[in-house]
Amino acid sequence: MKKVIIFWIWSSFLALNGWSQEIKSESQKLLFDAEKSYDKGNYNEAIELTKLIEKRLGNTNAVIQYIRVKAFFKIKQYDLAQAALMKFYDYPSSELMTKEINTITESIISLRKKILLKS
């Protein structure tokens, strides 16, 4: 269900921005590949694929940042996850994606508090 919602948001985003069909198709394939890489635990590959999507499109969106936040968090790159979080909130997203990102945000805040308490 989550993947269907993400696909719908992604398709809507591409349609509204008027990119060529070739770029849309290629970007959708790369998005699915990025999600598949994330699901398989290949977080760095997922991040690289999101960079490639951005390069092809010339900008970013909530779906790209959603994948990045989750991947950076999994590889414990909390500063990069937080930077992606800030970008994520700049774009419209589904309630499902926002809920998941909010949970990660709370985890990052909690981790930062623990680090501060130790120092």
Token pair 């130790």 is found at 118
**Taking a C-beta distance cutoff of 8 angstroms, is the pair 108, 88 a contact?**
no
Alpha-carbon gap, residue 81 to 71, rounded angstroms = 8
Token pair 């849309």 is found at 24
Which amino acid would we find at residue 57? L
Q: What is the pLDDT tens value at each position of the chain, 119 positions in all? A: 455 445 545 555 545 455 466 666 788 899 999 999 999 999 999 999 999 999 988 889 999 999 999 999 999 999 999 999 999 999 998 899 999 999 999 999 998 888 888 87
- Structure-block tokens of residue 70: 């989750």
Token pair 């390069």 is found at 55
**Tell me, what CATH number does 20's domain have?**
1.25.40
Instruction: Quote the number of domains for the chain.
Output: 1
Domain that holds residue 25: 2-118
Percentages (nearest 5) of helix, strand, coil residues in the chain: 80, 0, 20
